[in-house]
């Protein structure tokens, strides 16, 4: 039997930090509301495109695995916010890495994109299509945020992380998953202006307006993550007691608490970093896994559970068995280009660009008030 061991892992977070106080300087909100309703304190705003974040994370993950770019068989980039729809972002990472032997695909299932990508990569390795895979989860969502909408603008941040997977005889890596989607309620989280149906219809691609029913998303998220967890535990013939660490999608601390309570796992077995980064969509779980490793929260042969949900509404839970090594083999000598602006300045620039675009748009949805 072939398994897909995770032998390299790394994150790449843009340096500019947007605090709750920054948000309340231009939105009718405050630190107390954001902290008590979401658990979030700050999030990152990227000064570089997604492919740059993905490239840096990928270089670091390859070093952690002791591999070179030329060895990579396939790059799968899980994201909802590709640099461009065509060509895909994974091909840009291939070019930046000089990973000329790699096939390239992007996968979009919103916030579950990294975990769905992990399923695809593991299956491709288990069926011997490829011997290894570089799986990246990342978002540069800040340019697509409706910065005037306080329901949405407080929630999201930018970031990326990458895993290197390779074929192994050892029973480790992703051992079972449960994937699904509540498409009947797909419209409760819908971003208008972000896709081909909007092109040439008076919309300006990227000038988004979010349809976002927070409370219903909350309920569905808890339901989907709980259901997926119960099924994946059954499939794996284990119970919640056998789980060493839960690394959930970080969309809201209250969602994480509610899921932990329902699946009967104490919070000291749950990794939470939503206060540092907000919801980085596809990047939340891989960044959280990397930080759990850095903090010594993942030990050799640990059983890890990663429940998640996202737009669609997609949901999933993965059961992973970590391998023997919990330390990177090496570090890559690569950093992002320096950022000479504050996060608030980056946001102000995006707001201005969006206002100019909306002013020039012809569709009534984007007419200035
Ligand atoms: N600051 C201050 N007040 C606010 C803010 C804000 N940023 N946002 C909303 N409010 C107000 C509302 O207008 C409302 O006022 P009202 O009572 O006068 O009408 C009040 O606060 C309460 O709003 P609720 O929506 O009831 O607040 P709730 O406790 O449900 O929290 C939240 C809202 C945080 C969005 C929550 O519903 C949630 O986390 N939902 C899930 C969101 C999520 O997971 N998003 C990501 C999914 S997408 C993905 O992962 C790709």
Tens digits of residue pLDDT in 278-301: 999 999 999 999 999 999 999 999
Nearest CA to ligand 1 atom 33: 214
* Tens digit of each residue's pLDDT (9 = 90 or more) over 13-39: 999 999 999 999 999 999 999 999 999
pLDDT value at residue 356: 73
Name the band, by pLDDT with cuts 50, 70 and 90, for residue 204. low
Nearest to 196 by CA among 188, 187, 206, 186: 206
Nearest CA to ligand 1 atom 13: 151
Strand 74-78 and strand 103-107: the pairing is parallel
Please report the atom of ligand 1 found closest to the CA of residue 150.
Answer: 7
Please tell me the distance from the alpha carbon of residue 57 to that of residue 79, in angstroms, as a whole number: 14
Q: Please give the distance of CA 172 from its chain centroid, rounded to a whole number.
A: 22
Nearest to 116 by CA among 173, 179, 73, 174: 179
pLDDT value at residue 136: 99
Percent of the chain whose predicted confidence (pLDDT) is above 90: 88
Three-state SS letters, 225-265: HHHHHHHHHHHHCCCHHHCCEECCCCCCHHHHHHHHHHHCC
pLDDT value at residue 207: 78
* Tens digit of each residue's pLDDT (9 = 90 or more) over 134-163: 999 999 999 999 999 999 999 999 999 999
Residue count of the chain = 369
Report, as an integer, the average pLDDT of 259-288: 98
Report, as an integer, the average pLDDT of 311-339: 97
Name the DSSP letter for residue 364. Answer: G
Q: How far is CA 364 from CA 210, 357, 358, 369, in A?
A: 15, 13, 10, 10
Q: How far is CA 79 from CA 82, 117, 270, 285, 322, in A?
A: 6, 9, 24, 12, 24
279 is catalytic: yes
Instruction: Locate 357 and state its tokens.
Output: 């675009």
Query: Is the pLDDT at 241 greater than 50, yes or no?
Result: yes
38 in Cβ contact with 252 (< 8 Å): yes
Query: Is the pLDDT at 206 greater than 90, yes or no?
Result: no
Query: Is the pLDDT at 264 greater than 80, yes or no?
Result: yes
Query: Is the pLDDT at 369 greater than 90, yes or no?
Result: no
How many angstroms is it from 85 CA to the middle of ligand 1? 30
Please tell me the distance from the alpha carbon of residue 15 to that of residue 59, in angstroms, as a whole number: 18
SS3 163: strand
Name the band, by pLDDT with cuts 50, 70 and 90, for residue 363. very low
How many angstroms is it from 150 CA to the middle of ligand 1? 8
Query: Is the pLDDT at 365 greater than 50, yes or no?
Result: no
Predicted TM-score (pTM) of the model is: 0.95
Weakest-pLDDT range from 104-108, 203-207, 258-262, 331-335: 203-207
7 in Cβ contact with 166 (< 8 Å): yes
Query: Is the pLDDT at 358 greater than 80, yes or no?
Result: no
How many angstroms is it from 46 CA to the middle of ligand 1? 24
Strand 245-246 and strand 303-305: the pairing is parallel
Query: Is the pLDDT at 181 greater than 80, yes or no?
Result: yes
* Tens digit of each residue's pLDDT (9 = 90 or more) over 55-82: 999 999 999 999 999 999 999 999 999 9
Weakest-pLDDT range from 190-194, 206-210, 254-258, 337-341: 206-210
Report, as an integer, the average pLDDT of 188-212: 81
61 in Cβ contact with 9 (< 8 Å): yes
- Binding pocket residue ranges, ligand 1, CB within 6 Å: 29, 33, 37-38, 110-111, 150-151, 154-155, 189, 214-215, 217-218, 221, 251-252, 255, 279, 281, 310-311
Q: How far is CA 30 from CA 35, 220, 291, 336, in A?
A: 9, 26, 28, 31
Query: Is the pLDDT at 353 greater than 90, yes or no?
Result: no
Report, as an integer, the average pLDDT of 245-254: 98
Average confidence score pLDDT of the chain: 94
Query: Is the pLDDT at 189 greater than 60, yes or no?
Result: yes
How many angstroms is it from 369 CA to the middle of ligand 1? 24
12 is catalytic: no
pLDDT value at residue 360: 58
| DSSP codes, 86-150 | SS-HHHHHHHHHT-TT-EEEEE-BTBTHHHHHHHHHHHHHHTTS-SEEEEEEEE--GGGS-TT-H
| Alpha-carbon Rg for the chain in angstroms | 20
pLDDT value at residue 334: 97
Place of tokens 């690569």: 334
């Amino acid at each position: 039997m072939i398994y897909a061991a995770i032998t390299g892992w790394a994150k790449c977070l843009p340096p500019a930090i947007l605090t709750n106080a920054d948000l309340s300087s231009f939105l009718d909100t405050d630190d107390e509301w954001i902290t008590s309703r979401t658990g979030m304190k700050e999030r990152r705003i990227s000064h570089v495109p997604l492919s740059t974040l993905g490239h840096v994370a990928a270089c670091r993950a390859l070093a952690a695995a002791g591999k070179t770019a030329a060895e990579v068989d396939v790059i799968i980039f899980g994201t909802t916010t590709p640099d461009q729809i065509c060509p895909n972002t994974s091909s840009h990472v291939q070019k930046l890495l000089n990973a000329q032997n790699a096939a390239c695909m992007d996968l979009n299932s919103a916030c579950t994109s990294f975990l769905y990508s992990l399923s695809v990569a593991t299956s491709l390795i288990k069926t011997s299509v490829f011997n290894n895979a570089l799986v990246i989860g990342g978002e540069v969502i800040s340019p697509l945020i409706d910065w005037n909408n306080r329901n949405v603008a407080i929630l999201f941040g930018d970031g990326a992380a990458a895993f290197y997977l390779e074929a192994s005889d050892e029973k480790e890596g992703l051992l079972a998953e449960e994937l699904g989607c509540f498409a009947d309620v797909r419209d409760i989280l819908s971003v208008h202006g972000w896709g081909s149906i909007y092109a040439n219809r008076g919309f300006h691609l990227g000038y988004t307006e979010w349809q976002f029913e927070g409370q219903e998303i909350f309920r569905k998220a808890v339901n989907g993550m709980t259901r997926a967890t119960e099924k994946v535990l059954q499939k794996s013939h284990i119970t919640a007691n056998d789980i060493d660490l839960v690394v959930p999608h970080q969309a809201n601390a209250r969602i994480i608490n509610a899921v932990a309570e329902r699946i009967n796992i104490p919070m000291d077995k749950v990794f939470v970093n939503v206060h540092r980064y907000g919801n980085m969509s596809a990047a939340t779980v891989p960044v959280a896994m990397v930080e759990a490793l850095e903090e010594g929260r993942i030990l050799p042969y640990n059983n890890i559970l990663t429940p998640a949900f996202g737009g669609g509404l997609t949901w999933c839970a993965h059961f992973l068995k970590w391998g023997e090594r919990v330390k990177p083999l090496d570090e890559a000598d690569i950093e992002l280009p320096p950022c000479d602006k504050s996060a608030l300045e980056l946001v102000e620039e995006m707001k201005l660009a969006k206002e100019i675009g909306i002013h020039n748009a012809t569709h009534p949805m984007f007419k200035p008030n």
